[in-house]
Structure 1
Amino acid sequence: MKTNIWILNHYASAMYFDRGGRHYNFAKYLRRAGYAPVIFGANSKHGKAERFLETDALWEERIAEEIDTPFVFVRTRTYDGNGKQRVLNMIDFYRNVKKAAKEYAAQHGRPDVIFASSVHPLTLVAGIQLAKQFGVKCVCEVRDLWPESIVVYSSRFTKNDPLIGLLYRGEKWIYRKADALVFTMEAAYDYIVERGWEKDIPRSKVHYINNGVDLEQFDYNKEHFCVDDPDLDDPDTFKVVYTGSIRLVNNLGLLLDVAGHLKERRVKFLIWGSGDEREALEQRARSEGLSNVVFKGRVEKKYVPAIVSRADLNVMDMQEKNELFRFGISPNKLFEYFAAERPVLMYQLDRYNPVMEYRAGFVAQNKDELVSCIETLAGGQQWEAGWTPACSRKAAEAFSYQTLTAELIKILEEDQ
């Protein structure tokens, strides 16, 4: 049994204060299974010129008492935005987490396995190098495809850019050197084949563990943190709920288009969240007389279960087809929607889609189908594939962190 599991995630430190998140939940259930996880993250806040802990020390340990797990806050510079300072912040973490890990090992003992997680690849490189020094296994977790994400989302770079080519070579090196790979994307091996790397990276090395939901915490919050909201409690309207960011990429303008077609129906669109597009969308709703659209603002995450569990239909982002989605999706709110045991409405995604796999909701391919689906459901009829609460609960259980951690343990314990 590989008891001491070190988790490296540059951005994990916020989980200590939020008392939740992917690696927080992994640590929770690893601890219950008899393991001793330790989480290493940066002491600087993501995208803000602030630190979680103000200290000159290379690292500082805090214990997350609810899950009995140490968090090691590693010193890094602060940064604001996505410029040069953010890159230097990544380099800080890469350098300092290795130094901190050695000092931590001298005081608390060596790891039995290292679980290094992206977003950025330097954390994975640090994990591989530390594992080699300690003579232990390194499992690399890829939650974001770098540099593929840069190519898809940036207008500055193409696949033929020399810097992107260098990053692709670095990515391949990581995949080759890691003892095992965990992807949050179901079709990650399709990506490896597309890159032409299958000869160097066997399928047996690649594993899939999506994001998920802590059902225990979800059910507790649903019961103990209720939101008093007359729109949610209105028995005479069909409630379409969206929770999350309100940014251009979420394409909620399309949801307002749909609302415009349903102004005369007993349908109300309730939008929880914040973002730089909220003000413009609110102004548009006012100017178009969309009284059936209500922006509720941001709420603490603990209130989300009570909100989504009282919806008649929970909707995902309205993003147009994305090149990265062909490998799978992993939005956190999808799994909360499953746990709510209410149907989910997904837009355009027709491959590697858990909503379709578990019959946990409905998929529309265009605006007319979105309108038709909501209109049909609001009228008390089914639309396309049938849905039941049991379908959603089955999906939630498949993506519960208790289930996902059991899958992770198999990978961590697997012989190299």
Structure 2
Amino acid sequence: MNIWIVNHYAIPPSMGGLVRHYYFSKYLQKKGHTVKIFTSSKIHNTDINMIKDKSLYREEMEDGVEYTFVRSRDYKGNGMDRVINMMDLPFKTWKAMKLFYKKQKPDVIYTSSPDLFVAFFALRFGRKYKIPVVVEVRDLWPESIVEYNKISRKNPIIQILYQLEKWIYKKADQLIFTMEGGKEYICDKGWDKVVDLNKVNHVNNGVDLEEFEENYEKYQIEDKDLMDKSKFNVVYVGSVRQVNNLATLIDAAKELKPYRNVQILIYGDGTERAALEEKCRKFQLNVKFKGRVEKKYIPYILKKSDLNVINVRPAALNKYGCSWNKLFEYMASGKPILCNLPVKYDLIRKYNLGVTKRFSDSEAYKDAILGFVKMKKEDYEMYCHNSLECSKKFDYQMLSDKVESILKKALS
């Protein structure tokens, strides 16, 4: 198959990106397929723009995968510049796709949301040129906007976005949800009368185990705190934003203050970092903020930890399941996982990878951490074994087989 992947935020791994489609491209190519990724020239969460002139697009081989960066507006944060970027990019992507279509028609288009606008235009392009389109849903827009930003569902713009979302689900040849409850979400919206549930598929995020092990061996970070064997290292890797709710972890650190052998290491950056760091300094907590690190160092960090933490703000969306990218890297590290938010279709509980629990207060969170510190060796090693074995079920090489079969269904 000649496959076009259209994703606003398909950032190459070397740029610290959202790598799901890089790995699918990598393994689909190994199966003999041709893959081209169309994405924004503005690299999300960085100051990088791959196009500095007025060119419509720029082709680059990044980490063995062919990327077509489409010129898009610079922005920072979530202000008006980003909104314009989201509205403008689909038109330019259409123009770029039309030029490449004249050279060689794709067999199938695989587009991923968010953003809904790029998915809409990719679907319109496919219908115009009679190309089957697979639409992937990685985040439930606009539902997540409503949940996390407290915007009314009756807001006219939100209502328009819901109608756009429903149209996309209805017209797609196949649908992929990264969360397991995709069919349930469609039914809850009352859209199952117009959306064929037989075309709804589920493919989790995952981890490239081969690359994970290679990076662990090749890229080791010098960090005296991480290597301090006199400490029990609780590690969090990821964004430090409101949605990650790390204030609850810092409150637990206050309760852990008498236990000087326990330290919390936070690798990541975001809008909440400065305030949380100030709080830790004020209370002299045993918490170290390490800042953002390159993805290639993550395997080493996670394997050297004693406990890996997922911290998330509760939301009604959790009833449809979650597929956090970090969860699968946590699995591959072979260390226990502690999560502050039970969700439906919970992999941590299903495969017994650690503890997932909504804590009533900071003392309960502290007790959960201490439970791992004081755990019997055989129980601790059971969690380690389960995590490592479970990661094999979510190796991107295996998940690519599922994606390949879905693309073939769209073709048929």
TM-score category (smaller protein): over 0.9
**1:32-80 CA distance string (max 9 Å, x none):** 111100000122233677621223222221123x42x321111223333
Residue in 2 aligned with 1:72? 68
Residue in 1 aligned with 2:59? 61
* CA distance in 2 between partners of 1:373 and 1:383 (Å): 18
Residue in 2 aligned with 1:133? 128
Residue in 2 aligned with 1:205? 199
Residue in 2 aligned with 1:84? 80
Map 1:248-287 to 2 at 5 A: 248-265=242-259, 266-287=261-282
Conserved in 2, the CA contact under 8 Å of 1:149 and 1:324? Answer: yes
**Amino acid in structure 2 at the alignment position of 1:259:** A
Conserved in 1, the CA contact under 8 Å of 2:51 and 2:57? Answer: no
* CA distance in 1 between partners of 2:5 and 2:238 (Å): 27
Q: How far did residue 134 of structure 1 move?
A: 2.7
Residue in 2 aligned with 1:328? 321
* CA distance in 2 between partners of 1:340 and 1:258 (Å): 24
* CA distance in 2 between partners of 1:242 and 1:328 (Å): 21
* CA distance in 1 between partners of 2:59 and 2:263 (Å): 47
**Amino acid in structure 1 at the alignment position of 2:94:** K
Q: How far did residue 399 of structure 1 move?
A: 1.5
Structure 1 vs Structure 2: percent identity of aligned residues?
40
Residue in 2 aligned with 1:147? 142
Q: How far did residue 385 of structure 1 move?
A: 10
Conserved in 2, the CA contact under 8 Å of 1:75 and 1:96? Answer: yes
**1:265-314 CA distance string (max 9 Å, x none):** 22111222222322222222222222x22222222221111011011100
**1:207-255 CA distance string (max 9 Å, x none):** 1112111111111111111122232222222111111122233222221
Residue in 2 aligned with 1:243? 237
Conserved in 1, the CA contact under 8 Å of 2:148 and 2:243? Answer: no
Secondary structure of the 2:110 match is strand
Q: How far did residue 8 of structure 1 move?
A: 0.2
**Amino acid in structure 2 at the alignment position of 1:256:** I
Residue in 1 aligned with 2:4? 6
Conserved in 1, the CA contact under 8 Å of 2:166 and 2:191? Answer: yes
Residue in 1 aligned with 2:401? 406
* 1:96 pairs with one of 86, 92, 99: 92
Residue in 2 aligned with 1:172? 166
**TM-score (norm. length: structure 1):** 0.92
Q: 1:253 to 1:282 in 2, by over 3 A?
A: same
**Amino acid in structure 2 at the alignment position of 1:208:** H
Q: 1:350 to 1:126 in 2, by over 3 A?
A: closer
Secondary structure of the 1:81 match is coil
**Amino acid in structure 1 at the alignment position of 2:320:** F
* CA distance in 1 between partners of 2:271 and 2:84 (Å): 26
Q: How far did residue 180 of structure 1 move?
A: 0.4
**Greater shift after overlay, 248-257 or 328-337?**
248-257
Query: Aligned residues, how many?
Result: 408
* CA distance in 2 between partners of 1:385 and 1:359 (Å): 11
Residue in 2 aligned with 1:371? 366
Q: How far did residue 162 of structure 1 move?
A: 1.9
Conserved in 1, the CA contact under 8 Å of 2:341 and 2:357? Answer: yes
Q: How far did residue 5 of structure 1 move?
A: 0.3
Mapped pair 1:195 → 2:193: no
* CA distance in 1 between partners of 2:265 and 2:81 (Å): 38
Q: How far did residue 20 of structure 1 move?
A: 6.8
Give the aligned CA root-mean-square deviation in angstroms. 2.2
Q: 1:118 to 1:164 in 2, by over 3 A?
A: same
Q: How far did residue 388 of structure 1 move?
A: 2.9
Conserved in 2, the CA contact under 8 Å of 1:270 and 1:295? Answer: yes
Conserved in 2, the CA contact under 8 Å of 1:269 and 1:294? Answer: yes
* 1:27 pairs with one of 12, 25, 29: 25
Q: How far did residue 357 of structure 1 move?
A: 1.4
Conserved in 1, the CA contact under 8 Å of 2:11 and 2:17? Answer: no
Residue in 1 aligned with 2:308? 314
Q: How far did residue 374 of structure 1 move?
A: 1.7
Where does structure 1 lack aligned partners over 5 or more consecutive residues? none
Mapped pair 1:347 → 2:347: no
**Greater shift after overlay, 122-131 or 172-181?**
122-131
* CA distance in 1 between partners of 2:295 and 2:301 (Å): 10
**TM-score (norm. length: structure 2):** 0.93
Q: How far did residue 384 of structure 1 move?
A: 9.4
Secondary structure of the 2:304 match is coil
Secondary structure of the 1:309 match is helix
Residue in 2 aligned with 1:356? 349
* 1:106 pairs with one of 102, 125, 130: 102
Q: How far did residue 27 of structure 1 move?
A: 0.5
Secondary structure of the 1:305 match is helix
Conserved in 2, the CA contact under 8 Å of 1:6 and 1:37? Answer: yes
Q: How far did residue 372 of structure 1 move?
A: 1.9
**Greater shift after overlay, 401-410 or 249-258?**
249-258
Conserved in 2, the CA contact under 8 Å of 1:358 and 1:391? Answer: yes
Q: 1:357 to 1:255 in 2, by over 3 A?
A: same
Higher RCO, Cα 8 Å, sep 6+:
2
Q: How far did residue 325 of structure 1 move?
A: 1.6
